[in-house]
Chain A
Amino acid sequence: MAQEQKQPRRSSESEESTTEVTETDVAERKEALDDDVDAILDEIDDVLETNAEDFVKSFIQKGGE
């Protein structure tokens, strides 16, 4: 992967397409990010205790130290 990153960007791509490419990139990245967030939350949903209210109410501790 380190090698891949070291490859210089090809400069043959025309200047005029730069802005367009950037916008598409941002949109794609945002979409990928949203998918990523969905994936995390789906995974967390699967393991979260089912009745949040009951669980929180019954988590009672005594002071310590």
Chain B
Amino acid sequence: MSVRRVMGTEIEYGISVVGQPMANPMVASSQVVNAYASATVRARRARWDFEEESPLRDARGFDMSRQVADPSQLTDEDLGLANVILTNGARLYVDHAHPEYSTPEVTSPLDVVRWEKAGDLVMLDAQRRAAQLPGGTAIVCYKNNTDGKGASYGAHENYLMRRATPFGDVVRHLTPFFVSRPVVAGAGRVGIGQDGRTRGFQISQRADFFEVEVGLETTLKRPIINTRDEPHADPEKYRRLHVIVGDANLAEVSTYLKVGTTSLVLAMIEDRFITTDLTVEGPVAGLRAISHDPTLRQTITLTDGRTVTGVQLQWEYLDLARKYVEDRYGSDADAQTLDVLARWESVLDRLERDPMLCAGELDWVAKLKLLEQYRQRDGLGWDDAKLALIDLQYADIRPEKGLYHRLAGAGRIERLLDDDAVEGAMHDPPTDTRAYFRGRCLEKFSSSVAAASWDSVIFDLPGRESLQRVPTIDPLRGSRAHVGDLLDSCESAEALVAALTR
């Protein structure tokens, strides 16, 4: 494989009610999600189908018992919180105390960027609608991962992998990659330590919240490699690698490289191409150490005795990936794979010379540059509240207030997609996965869809006593090529289900 595979992201947004710091975040999150659902979801609102969810399934091959699980891990219980499926195939819902958007399944890094960015616009639209409701308050969402006071919330990535790949290989080869990945994909943070008590700037929003190397948890004792194993696909063939160690990115190049390079590394692991051992001594401490040094000179020690910087460790993976793509595809490599390789190399080369050369592409550098400019002009120390404000406001999703959006709008941060492409993805599903079937069903037959999830669409049809469940267990079926003509030609959900079950 290449950079292409079935993948997607889930973003939990920070949320604040303007002027009411003590407002209940679950209520505010529900208001946002419900405002969007009421305004955009036609007819009945399809509920989420939890049948195939198993959040306590561990990739190492056992189930955690419900009694020992933390209540926050029981995500399969329908808590009655707002939860809708959109016509673009995405899921918009309330997770704990945050509004969350899960992209539909896509097959390329650029499509991850497109449908994740569409999620930012969905959330923006949702918060605006919530403010317009009678008695509505101004609610603002932030695409970041910490409040700087000890709380963290996630930006997760999901990659479909071959089941046959031993999980030990994933842990061995992916851990050093994740320890060093923030130098490319970090979102930047003011404050060091979970509660930010030590002044200074670090590369990653999330690094300080990771405490163990491997584990099932996501809310406590967070692991670098998460073992949650719900493939939402045939479990004999696939696992879904659930990655929780990344930051939420605003910059399109950051997101693109984050998922593009990760997908390539996974391809090498699946094909057993990595024979060098890059195991890091103390990866949890290493992740933090790399994050804490924006000059990128911090070294970590590998078990073979070498000391390397985060950028050097990324070069190791890039060199392997170049050889891998050359070896497997030669001149037939697809354009996006070659583009990811070229951009990855270009970014690493400049990070090594002067990180500031990446201020037009990478979140953490863009943020640091702005902070340094303020420090210089106004003579601010790292403990100045204004710098913490800039950190938070960088992630404000409003184009008129968010500092990322101001910089991108002024052409100071590179875009990979134009506004039309992203706006279209708020409503249109990707065409090359089952998200196409899910999205089109909701768009065309919403009054007949009782529930849906990643692996099913459930119809409630007149004249039928029981609900009709259409399984979508293969993520690559239900694409436009498979069902586009059928969906176009069916005038009713009954006709569609009849044709599918004939």
Contact between chains at B403 and A64 (CB < 8 Å): no
- Check A63/B96 contact, CB under 8 A, given A53-B385, A55-B389, A56-B392: yes
B interface residues, Cβ below 8 angstroms from A: 12, 14-16, 21-22, 25, 72, 95-98, 100, 142, 146-149, 151-154, 156, 218-219, 244, 370, 373-374, 377, 384-386, 388-390, 392-393, 400-401, 403, 406-407, 410, 412
- Out of A37, A38, A58, A63, name the residue touching B151 (CB < 8 Å): A63
4 A-B pairs with least C-beta separation: A64-B153, A58-B21, A62-B97, A61-B147
Contact between chains at A62 and B373 (CB < 8 Å): no
Name 23 A/B residue pairs within 8 A (Cβ), A-sorted: A40-B410, A40-B412, A41-B377, A44-B390, A44-B403, A47-B400, A48-B389, A48-B390, A52-B388, A58-B16, A59-B14, A59-B21, A59-B142, A60-B147, A60-B149, A61-B15, A61-B16, A63-B97, A64-B95, A64-B100, A65-B152, A65-B219, A65-B244
Task: Give complex CA distance A65, B149 in Å.
Answer: 17
- Check A56/B385 contact, CB under 8 A, given A41-B377, A61-B97, A64-B95: yes
Shortest A26–chain B CB gap in Å is 17
Residues of B close to A58: CB separation below 8 A: 16, 21
Contact between chains at B97 and A65 (CB < 8 Å): no
Chain B, Cβ-Cβ closest to A37? B373
Task: Give complex CA distance A61, B377 in Å.
Answer: 31
Task: Give complex CA distance A56, B142 in Å.
Answer: 13
Contact between chains at B377 and A65 (CB < 8 Å): no
Contact between chains at B95 and A65 (CB < 8 Å): yes
Contact between chains at A61 and B389 (CB < 8 Å): no
Residues of A close to B22: CB separation below 8 A: 60
Task: Give complex CA distance A37, B14 in Å.
Answer: 29
A49 on interface, CB distance cutoff 8 Å: yes
Task: Give complex CA distance A64, B400 in Å.
Answer: 27
Contact between chains at B148 and A56 (CB < 8 Å): yes
- Check A52/B151 contact, CB under 8 A, given A58-B21, A64-B219, A65-B156: no
- Check A63/B388 contact, CB under 8 A, given A40-B410, A44-B403, A56-B148: no
Contact between chains at A62 and B96 (CB < 8 Å): yes
Task: Give complex CA distance A58, B19 in Å.
Answer: 9
Residues of B close to A40: CB separation below 8 A: 370, 373, 407, 410, 412
Contact between chains at A49 and B393 (CB < 8 Å): yes
A43 on interface, CB distance cutoff 8 Å: yes
Chain A residues numbered 9-65 whose CB sits less than 8 Å from any CB in chain B? 37-38, 40-41, 43-44, 47-49, 52-53, 55-65
Task: Give complex CA distance A59, B148 in Å.
Answer: 9
Residues of A close to B218: CB separation below 8 A: 65
- Check A64/B412 contact, CB under 8 A, given A37-B373, A59-B147: no
Contact between chains at A56 and B95 (CB < 8 Å): no
Contact between chains at B389 and A52 (CB < 8 Å): yes
Task: Give complex CA distance A44, B403 in Å.
Answer: 7
Chain B, Cβ-Cβ closest to A62? B97
Task: Give complex CA distance A41, B410 in Å.
Answer: 12
